[in-house]
Chains A and B, each alone.
Chain A
Amino acid sequence: MDSEVAVEVLRAVKRPQSVSELVASLRRRNEAVIQALSEMDERGLVERRVERGGGRGRPRVVVSSTALGEEYLDAYNRLSHIALKATPPGLRRAVADAEYASRLKARGLDPFQLFLELNEHVRSAKGAG
């Protein structure tokens, strides 16, 4: 079981929702979500309940978290906050980037306009790729 997917699912189903709603909100492939739900169901992290509407359509499967699922999510959140994720070189780089932004501002450039330009370039590059 991919713990990151499991955590995404558990966060989403804090409020019970149908499989199709879940697929839409997670923005993952249908098959990937259904596979994850099966594994999580087997491990007792979620439960799936079939809701039959009055009509003739396919019954709705509603997914919700179990008490074990909530504990899993709490533990993940607690532990993931203990250690730094950034490394010292990354943090030094962030300070250097901030100082650069400050120098640009001092030269009369607008950091937000530069940000917009940078992102337009990224968008174009992604569009071309």
Chain B
Amino acid sequence: MSGLLRALGDAVDLLDGAGLDYMVLGGFALPFYGRIRSTLDLDVAAYVPTEEAYRRLLRLAGEYGLKPTLCSYRNPVSIFVDEAASLEIELWLRPDGVDWDKETLKRRRRVKSDGVSFWIIGPEDFIISKLARPDRMEQDELDVKSVLALMGSELDAVYLARRSRQCGVESLLSVIRGK
């Protein structure tokens, strides 16, 4: 098993062990919906409802081979290091461009690779998360274009339109679609 998948598996086991809802974001979700490109950023969004739940997560981390570093409930992102793989995992409590709600969680997808099962962000929310992030880069738009090209009619057009309006990226999405 690759070090990347092991690190992801450890993070997922920790979140499952802590009873927290989560979904994998960014470059690790992209190959399920669009192009295949390299990234070393392993981003996971977790819904951690209280500071107590967060403290419990930190206490449990060692049991799963994860070392908390730069961790604070007040920060939008916490960094964990997977000690076996020597890789960092960014755990987003308040991910850029993603509005946590029941619908986002309902639309996440369960995937499996090499014996590791995990949740990834749904394709429509993936698109919105890429376009609505305040530090959007060219790569994010290219990722969106690849998802639009590959998923095509499989995307829920009504939901995507509504979410893009809510997040103020409707025009941007329309321009990328048309290019």
Contacts and interface: CB of A to CB of B under 8 A. Distances in A.
Interface of A: 7, 11, 15, 17, 21, 24-25, 77, 80-81, 84-88, 90-91, 93-95, 97-102, 104, 110-120, 122-123, 126
27 contacts: A7-B135, A15-B75, A24-B70, A25-B70, A80-B134, A81-B168, A81-B169, A84-B172, A86-B179, A90-B142, A91-B141, A91-B176, A91-B179, A94-B145, A95-B145, A97-B37, A98-B35, A98-B146, A98-B150, A99-B149, A99-B150, A101-B31, A116-B2, A116-B5, A119-B4, A119-B40, A123-B3
A77 B176 contact: no
A122 to B, nearest CB: 5
A20 B134 CA distance: 24
Interface residues of B, number: 43
A15 B102 CA distance: 26
A99 to B, nearest CB: 7
A112 B143 contact: no
B99 to A, nearest CB: 16
B51 to A, nearest CB: 14
Nearest to B114: A113
Nearest to A86: B141
A80 B137 CA distance: 10
Contacts of A100: 35-36
B149 A80 contact: no
A129 B16 CA distance: 36
B32 A111 contact: yes
Contact of B36 (A86, A114, A123): A114
A21 B74 CA distance: 11
Contacts of B5: 116
